[in-house]
Structure 1
């Protein structure tokens, strides 16, 4: 089954801190909704750009996307 990475972009001097906080809420959502996959993390792309992401199965993507409104997505490759 294909897995998708839902991504939230944060920019500015506090981007990393905001992305880390966003992951807390993603973990709460995962626990509440009991999603099939519980992969979520932060990546710092530069000093001024960080992302928070959540990995979901393609079959779960639409309702999660509609509920959480990620900025973008891509196919997940571990």
Structure 2
């Protein structure tokens, strides 16, 4: 089974959590617009009062395709 990679967008500042939450909406809109049906694991997390992330989990073989279009800040191996 192919490794899954978590593409991550970082947001910082007092509004970080609400911005990350809103960014997830844009990720879901992208997934819907591109008719992607098998890669819809998205989310957002507050890491501290001033740091939050939005993320999308994709197969490792497709990282470059989505990285170049969506420009995440970083990525990590996804573990359930």
> TM-score of the superposition, structure 1-length normalised?
0.95
Task: Return the alpha-carbon distance in structure 2 between the equivalents of residues 33 and 66 of structure 1.
Answer: 15
Cα drift, residue 60 of structure 1 = 1.4
Moved over 6 A (4+): none
User: Match of 2:39, SS?
Assistant: coil
The 5 A counterparts of 1:1-78 are 1-35=2-36, 36-78=38-80
Count of residue pairs the alignment pairs up: 78
Cα drift, residue 34 of structure 1 = 2.9
Q: What value does the CA root-mean-square deviation take over the aligned residues?
A: 0.8
Structure 2 runs not aligned, ≥5 long: none
Structure 1 runs not aligned, ≥5 long: none
Task: Return the alpha-carbon distance in structure 1 between the equivalents of residues 33 and 78 of structure 2.
Answer: 23
> TM-score of the superposition, structure 2-length normalised?
0.93
Task: Return the alpha-carbon distance in structure 2 between the equivalents of residues 57 and 43 of structure 1.
Answer: 21
**1:38-68, Cα deviation, whole Å (9 max, x unpaired):** 0000010001000000000011111100000
